[in-house]
Amino acid sequence: MPEVTQLLQRLGGGDKAALNEIIPLVYQELRQIARGCFSREAAGHMLQPTALIHEAYLRMVQQSHPNYSNRAHFYAVSARIMRQILVDHSRYRQAGKRSGPDRDLPFAETLQPVSGRSLHIMALDEALERLSSIDRLKGSLVEMRFFGGMSAEEIAECVSIPVHTVRRELRIAQAWLHKELTQ
């Protein structure tokens, strides 16, 4: 969609008003990303996908924007913001309980964007931060796949590497995260 590309270029150039024009055009895709984030959360979560999108929008309005290379890059950044919101919300809930996060929660066997299993967001976030400190690329790929619901092809386009490399790096990252979360 050329219109979205042009709006992303304007946004990257500092035109904050472009964000107001982009959101209605990409809202359904953002809603899919938000639903994917919630498919891994425990039942009864206080936030809803619509609230997550709106909170992400508010954070986006307040920050400067990179020069988005394409729509996939915009969705990757959006997924990162949604992840941060969920982690912040989870930390707030945990602080209210005065107990640490439960480390023995199950890890999704695959990094598929839609999974019926529950995954503790804080445990994943901490493991993903450790992975990113070791290998920034693998951390970004997992974030785009798991939180952004992006396909290997979309990720490859976003980061400008071959699809087979994305798949290989995701398999390695998956194994590393599985080990970290099941220790």
pTM above 0.85, yes or no: no
pLDDT of residue 114: 34
Mean confidence (pLDDT) of the chain: 78
b/e for 11-27, b at 16 or more Cβ within 10 A?
Answer: bbeeeeebbeebbeebe
- As a whole number, mean pLDDT of residues 141-155 equals 84
Reported as a pLDDT band with limits 50, 70 and 90, residue 162 is very high
pLDDT of residue 133: 95
Reported as a pLDDT band with limits 50, 70 and 90, residue 163 is very high
Per the structure, the count of domains in the chain is 1
- Spatial separation of the C-alpha atoms in residues 46 and 139, rounded to whole Å: 27
What range defines the domain where residue 61 resides? 2-182
pLDDT of residue 60: 86
pLDDT above 80: residue 99: no
